[in-house]
Amino acid sequence: MAGPNPASGPLLRAEAITKRFGATLALDALDLTIIEGEFFALLGGSGSGKSTLLRIIAGFDTPDDGRLLLDGADIVATPPWARPINMMFQSYALFPHMSVADNVAYGLRRAGTPRAEAAPRIAAALAMVGLTGFERRRPHELSGGQKQRVALARSLVMRPRLLLLDEPLGALDAGLRERTGFELRALQRETGAAFVMVTHDQEEALALADRVAVLEGGRIAQLGPPRAIYERPASRFVARFLGAANVLEGRAVAAGFDSTEAGATFAGVIPADTVAVALRPERIRLAANATGPNTARGVVEDAAFRGDDTLLLVRLAGGALLRVAHAEEDGAPPERGGGVTLAWDAADVVPLAS
Ligand SMILES: Nc1ncnc2c1ncn2[C@@H]1O[C@H](COP(=O)(O)OP(=O)(O)OP(=O)(O)O)[C@@H](O)[C@H]1O
């Protein structure tokens, strides 16, 4: 992964950005820094404030409170077109009566760019997204993926320092999503612009972004590189939102962490304020005869073959249902209804304080 240039400084700083819609607090004194040239993902569930934040950065909405600094200067009062920021809408928002070339030219025309300068820029932007030869088509003569490329070209032709992408892969089918994701990353590297992508898809965020912010109720629940967020979620919310991690409730004790619902003691580095632990399914192994801390007994309630592994749903002695990924190389998975003993390493127990 290329990652942002470590020498790059902050491009945009949101400071205590607050936005209310009536009684709804959409953004709650949110702080965020976007670094020059990075691929950043805003990840969150429905209503977490993702689109509101994007619209405020683009200038389509004004915060009730807080500052938005670009190169250190507040741009809250700067109109959208005067910001070196461009936004690609989920709906693409192409003009249906205009050709592809005219759609891409639109921003340049509005900015008064001379024709002689605009033409090569339009050609370059279309080439960048692989649409050379489509100049004269209308949006209704394009596939969904091609429309998206036109929308991208229309943004990139403005040479923004920051490109905002609202669910850029949302409208594409599964096959096209992966390819387009790689293409987005390549475009981001090629242009050197910072990309900020909004998504509710955790896999997409983890796969594409250099850094991810998980949003919850208008606040950032956790921010960091994908691997750090995935392996060390900071709270139950993040662990559950990222999907697949087992979250077990309990309390910190002298020996570690006692979970009645697991019927197990988790030994490891457990701070006193721990209220739950996260444990990833692929870190749990079958260990016949294992006893003591970091082991548990249960019964296999169901099993689903997933190609590389089999996902086991194991009902633990304490009542909790544990997801266990049983790798193919570890041999045949246990039968449904069979009793199993599970074990894991202390290093894989992630304490959660909230
Ligand atoms: N124009 C508006 N008027 C009233 N409430 C709004 C408006 N826009 C957003 N909200 C509310 O603000 C909160 C945040 O909305 P926002 O659209 O930013 O969420 P989101 O994370 O983008 O969600 P989704 O993934 O569903 O698009 C929600 O509770 C939403 O109902």
- Domain containing residue 289: CATH number: 2.40.50.140
pLDDT score for 329: 84
pLDDT at 7: 53
Residue of the CA atom closest to atom 16 of ligand 1: 49
Q: Is residue 1 part of a domain?
A: no
What is the Cα–Cα distance from 228 to 222, expressed in whole angstroms? 10
Q: Based on the domain organization, do 227 and 82 belong to the same domain?
A: yes
Probe target for ligand 1 pocket from 18, 21, 196, 201, with the most ligand atoms within 8 Å of CB: 21
Q: Is the C-alpha dihedral spanning 6, 7, 12, 16 positive or negative?
A: positive
Please tell me if the CB atom of residue 26 comes closer than 6 angstroms to any atom of ligand 1: yes
Q: Judge if 304 and 275 occupy the same domain.
A: yes
**Domain total of the chain:** 2
| Structural domain boundaries, residue 205 | 10-236
State the DSSP H helix or E strand holding residue 310, giving kind and residue range, or none if neither.
strand 309-316
230 and 163 belong to one structural domain: yes
For residue 54, the ligand 1 atom closest to its alpha carbon is 18
Tell me the two tokens of residue 136.
């004269």
Q: For residue 46, report the distance from its CA to the centre of ligand 1, in Å.
A: 8
Instruction: Identify whether residues 55 and 132 lie together within a single domain.
Output: yes
Gap from CA of 96 to ligand 1 centroid (Å): 27
In this structure, the residue with its CA closest to atom 2 of ligand 1 is 21
Contact 280 CB / ligand 1 (< 6 Å): no
User: 253 with 222, same domain?
Assistant: no
- Determine, yes or no, domain membership for 179: yes
How many angstroms separate the first and last alpha carbons of the chain? 31
Residue whose CA is at the smallest distance from ligand 1 atom 17: 51
Please indicate, yes or no, whether residues 270 and 251 belong to a single structural domain of this protein. Answer: yes
The domain boundary, picked from 187, 204, 236, lies at 236
User: Does ligand 1 come within 6 angstroms of the Cβ of 51?
Assistant: yes
* Reported ipTM: 0.96
Low-confidence residues in the chain, pLDDT < 50: 1-2, 6
Q: Are residues 168 and 253 in the same domain?
A: no
Between the CA of residue 318 and those of 238, 276, 297, 322, 341, what are the distances in Å?
24, 15, 9, 11, 13
> Residues near 119 by Cβ (< 8 Å), separated by ≥ 6?
none
350-352 and 276-279 strand pairing: antiparallel
Q: How far apart are CA 23 and CA 177, in angstroms?
A: 37
Residue whose CA lies nearest to ligand 1 atom number 28: 47
Same-domain status, 278 and 146:
no
Minimum-distance ligand 1 atom for the alpha carbon of 200: 25
Q: How far is Cα 3 from Cα 26, in angstroms, rounded to an integer?
A: 30
So what's the pLDDT on residue 179? Answer: 84
Residue 185 belongs to some domain of the structure: yes
Instruction: Decide if 261 is inside a domain.
Output: yes
Q: Which of 17, 43, 48, 220 to probe ligand 1 with, by most ligand atoms within 8 A of CB?
A: 48
The 8-class DSSP code of residue 90 comes to: T
Rounded to 5 degrees, what are φ and ψ at 55? Answer: -65, -35
Q: Which of 236, 268, 289 lies at the terminal end of a domain, its last residue?
A: 236
Element (H, E) at 128: helix 115-128
Q: Is 315:298 a contact under the CB 8 Å cutoff?
A: yes
Name the residue with the closest Cα to ligand 1, atom 20: 47
Of 91, 82, 81, which is closest to residue 151 (Cα–Cα)? 91
- Structural domain contains residue 289: yes
Question: Among residues 206, 236, 266, which one ends one of the domains?
Answer: 236
Could you tell me the distance, in angstroms and rounded to a whole number, from the CA of residue 151 to the centre of ligand 1? 23
- CB burial of 163-176 (b: ≥16 within 10 Å; e: otherwise) equals bbbbbbbbebeeeb
Are 184 and 273 within one domain?
Answer: no
Any idea what the CATH number is for the domain that residue 156 is in? 3.40.50.300
pTM for the whole thing? 0.86
pLDDT of residue 244: 67
Asked whether 52 lines ligand 1 (CB < 6 A), one says: yes
Are residues 35 and 91 located together in one domain of the fold? yes
Per-residue confidence (pLDDT) for residue 1, from 0 to 100: 45
For residues 285-301, one letter each, b for 16 or more C-beta atoms within 10 angstroms of the residue's C-beta and e for the rest, the string is bbeeeeeebbbbbbebe
Amino acid at 322: L
| Predicted confidence (pLDDT) per residue in 132-183, tens digit | 999 999 999 998 889 989 999 999 999 999 999 998 888 778 778 888 898 8
Closest C-alpha residue for ligand 1 atom 24: 46
Question: Which ligand 1 atom minimizes the distance to the CA of 19?
Answer: 12
Q: Is 162 in the pocket of ligand 1 (CB under 6 A)?
A: no
What gap in Å lies between CA 5 and CA 216, rounded to an integer?
A: 28
**Residue identifier of the C-alpha nearest atom 5 of ligand 1:** 21
Residues 66, 167, single domain; the answer is: yes
Please tell me whether residues 94 and 196 are part of one structural domain. Answer: yes
Structural tokens at position 195: 């990309």
In a domain, 2, yes or no: no
Compute the distance from residue 140 Cα to the ligand 1 centre, in Å.
30
Question: Taking CA 17 as the corner, what is the angle to CA 11 and CA 22, rounded to the nearest 5 degrees?
Answer: 145
Quote the ligand 1 centre to 200 CA distance (angstroms): 13
Whose tokens are 């923004």? That residue is 160
279 burial type by CB count under 10 A (0-12 exposed, 13-18 middle, 19+ buried): buried
Distance from the alpha carbon of residue 285 to the mean position of ligand 1, in angstroms: 42
Selection from 286, 270, 290, 289 nearest residue 278 by Cα: 270
